Structure 1
Amino acid sequence: MSTPDTAVPDKGASTPAGSGDSLFTRLYTGTGAFGIVANRRKFYILTLVIVAVCLASILLRGFSFGIDFTGGTKLTMPAGDVDEDQVSMVVEEVVGEEPQTVQIVGAGNARIVEVETRFLTTDEIVDTKNALFEEFQPVSASGEASVEAIGDSARSESWGGQVTEKALIALAVFMVIVFGYIAFRFEWQMATAAIVALFFDVITTAGVYSLVGFEVTPATVIGLLTILGFSLYDTVIVFDKVEENTRGIANTTSRTYAEEANLGVNQTLMRSIHTTVIGILPLLALVIIAVWILGVGTLMDLALVQMVGIVTGTFSSVFLATPLLVTLKERSPEIKRQTAKVLARREKAEARA
């Protein structure tokens, strides 16, 4: 929901309108009371710190890759009253090392235990199945306790690598198309700022996964691509308002380009907040359903990466893309001349006053 345009005093960012109003009043009226562009150096520093921490974590800690990337053997059996720690101990006694993951997925009678380990030999698979059967007596589909109730499958690490390679190619193509469209629809400065914001989203989301230790699966990689669309949508909405405010600005002396851009961000700020909240709520519900009803799986992976991506996308759209746009625009001679004329007019007005 976009807010109505409201007049801003000539001093713009230095004395924002509505600065004495409450926080919610300033958010909803969009009068330019928040000096986002005026404080862009602080946001640049914050952005650099976030990127540095994320890159350091990626380089030093790395990622917790799932079996689809590392390769290995996956065993499944009906859960019943099985405890994950007990299953882990039984498997460790047979294979000589702790399994990569042990998790219970599904709900009700459909609950199963999934065990992911390194690549096991045929003899190790047989021994592990027998040990699990002796300990837990899983019941097969026929209703009888049988070792056949325990299934196994091998996962090749090349499959996860192929998914990642195709995702990176898709990401590169997406970036080129986005740059071309925004440069054609708006201008190259906006296209550059939007691409930088998208790279920030990718690095930050990947960094959060590295820091927290979330498991990276093919679903995570696919989900990472989906969040870029959300971030781009939010950025384009802000840019559209900025373009509307700055159209023909070279012929005016009421406000500078930076002040008009800051007004545009303020006028769309509440919309960005609403979009973020509305986007996160169903994802929270999806996480709850995935964990408590269906069990941890693909839905959980998709929901997690999209929740992280939506938050980072909103930050980059508001606090990075538009401030960076202003920095790029202020390098042009036309904007420099217009800014000088605005400041000169204000000095004359103050002198007369």
Structure 2
Amino acid sequence: MRSKWNYDFVKASKYFYIFSIVLTIAGIISLSLFKLNYGVDFRSGSNVDVKVSKDVTKQDIEKVLAETKLNQKDVQITPGSGRVNIRFPEVLTSNQESDLKAALVKDIDKNASAEVNTVDPEMARELQQNAIYAVLLASLGIIVYVTIRFEWRFAVAAIVALLHDAFLVISIFSILRLEVNLTFIIAVLTIVGYSINDTVVIFDRVRENMRFAKIKTHTDLHDVVNKSISQTMTRSINTVFTVFIASVCLLIFGSESIRMFSLAMVIGLLCGAYSSIFIASPLWYGLKGLQKNVKSKPSKTTT
């Protein structure tokens, strides 16, 4: 199969390695100093969803909260939806909930209704642990699957690329101080799924081309990897592009409750697209090149 993509992907991968390493180091520093900006799902506190029948401003809500002497963490209003979200760093007591609902009805809208969702510290810790376990179990399952279907070198390259994608998304959220909640974890797991799909497609083509190639030198192996990426490039771009457009639309037109999910998807899809091409495949090339039967230079023929 011929491809119009005539580009040395393996050679260019070193620049993406540098970019990923720099961003990873920045992420490690940010996580060490500032950690993640956890939402109520992963940190104890109360989240209040308010439904009103008229337009209100953030200042109106903050004025009511000041009167009730409640220290809110954040106030989010979705324009035109009649919904207000208020996040509190502490768990509200029954009296505080009653006072808040009464103040909203009195000063904001007589038809206002409020739903309070509370997460205690023990539940928050459990959710954090379960989120980590979910990502680790997904990674373990992928390792087993790729090892059985291909070989251990493919599995190592795939899992490095997946961890790379997940950590880059986490790093960007940490650096930009974006909120991490349950929808963020769902986005990370979805990103892992799309990333491994693109990676496996390329690996499958590499394996197929290896059957018919006579690999004697690193140059031969180099050409096989570049050829395999070129043959699958159009498919990879089309797949990612369609999901990327949908995620951007959700980010722009979606509600506030899924905004962080959409943003994580947008970032993760971009990271996953280039990691499958410039991280996973070149990494497999490096591991495969360590085999003794692959020479670093073309063998000389004797006459």
CA-to-partner distance for each residue in 1:270-318, whole Å, 9 max, x for gaps?
A: 222222211111112222332xxxx311x33332222221111111101
Question: Is the 1:234–1:317 Cα contact (8 Å) retained in structure 2?
Answer: yes
Q: CA deviation at 1:252?
A: 6.1
Question: Is the 1:257–1:326 Cα contact (8 Å) retained in structure 2?
Answer: yes
Question: Is the 2:202–2:232 Cα contact (8 Å) retained in structure 1?
Answer: yes
Structure 2 residue aligned with 1:340: 297
CA distance in 1, matches of 2:32, 2:20: 18
Structure 2 residue aligned with 1:121: 93
Structure 2 residue aligned with 1:137: 109
Structure 2 unaligned blocks of 5 or more: none
Structure 1 residue aligned with 2:20: 47
Structure 1 residue aligned with 2:260: 301
Partner AA of 2:187 in structure 1:
G
CA distance in 1, matches of 2:64, 2:143: 54
CA distance in 2, matches of 1:319, 1:57: 25
CA distance in 2, matches of 1:251, 1:311: 32
Identify if the C-alpha distance between structure 1 residues 173 and 124 changes in structure 2 by more than 3 Å, giving closer, same or farther: closer
Partner AA of 1:88 in structure 2:
E
Question: Is the 1:73–1:152 Cα contact (8 Å) retained in structure 2?
Answer: yes
CA-to-partner distance for each residue in 1:225-263, whole Å, 9 max, x for gaps?
A: 111010000011111122222225446679510121122
State how 1:36-185 maps to structure 2 within 5 Å: 36-79=9-52, 80-95=54-69, 97=71, 99-105=72-78, 108=81, 111-117=82-88, 118-139=90-111, 149-185=113-149
Identity of aligned residues (%): 27
Question: Is the 1:55–1:203 Cα contact (8 Å) retained in structure 2?
Answer: no
Question: Is the 1:246–1:261 Cα contact (8 Å) retained in structure 2?
Answer: no
With 185-194 and 50-59 compared, the bigger mean Cα shift is at 50-59
CA distance in 1, matches of 2:140, 2:287: 20
Identify if the C-alpha distance between structure 1 residues 177 and 124 changes in structure 2 by more than 3 Å, giving closer, same or farther: closer
With 209-218 and 112-121 compared, the bigger mean Cα shift is at 112-121
Question: Is the 1:235–1:317 Cα contact (8 Å) retained in structure 2?
Answer: yes
Structure 2 residue aligned with 1:268: 232
Question: Is the 2:229–2:277 Cα contact (8 Å) retained in structure 1?
Answer: yes
Secondary structure of the structure 1 residue equivalent to 2:246: helix
Q: CA deviation at 1:214?
A: 2.1
Question: Is the 1:138–1:150 Cα contact (8 Å) retained in structure 2?
Answer: no
Q: CA deviation at 1:220?
A: 1.1
> Aligned Cα RMSD in Å?
2.5
Pairs aligned (count): 300
With 48-57 and 123-132 compared, the bigger mean Cα shift is at 123-132
Structure 2 residue aligned with 1:328: 287
CA-to-partner distance for each residue in 1:117-150, whole Å, 9 max, x for gaps?
A: 122334433443343333223315xxxxxxxx34
CA distance in 2, matches of 1:249, 1:165: 46
- Answer yes or no: is 1:214 the counterpart of 2:178: yes
Partner AA of 1:155 in structure 2:
V
CA-to-partner distance for each residue in 1:188-214, whole Å, 9 max, x for gaps?
A: 111111010011011001111112222
Question: Is the 2:216–2:293 Cα contact (8 Å) retained in structure 1?
Answer: no
Question: Is the 1:67–1:157 Cα contact (8 Å) retained in structure 2?
Answer: no
Partner AA of 1:91 in structure 2:
L
Bigger Rg, which one: 1
Structure 1 residue aligned with 2:222: 258
Structure 1's consecutive aligned runs of 4 or more residues displaced over 4 angstroms after TM superposition are 105-108, 250-255
CA distance in 2, matches of 1:48, 1:163: 29
Structure 2 residue aligned with 1:144: none
CA-to-partner distance for each residue in 1:158-199, whole Å, 9 max, x for gaps?
A: 334333322322322222222222222222111111010011
**TM-score scaled by length of structure 2:** 0.88
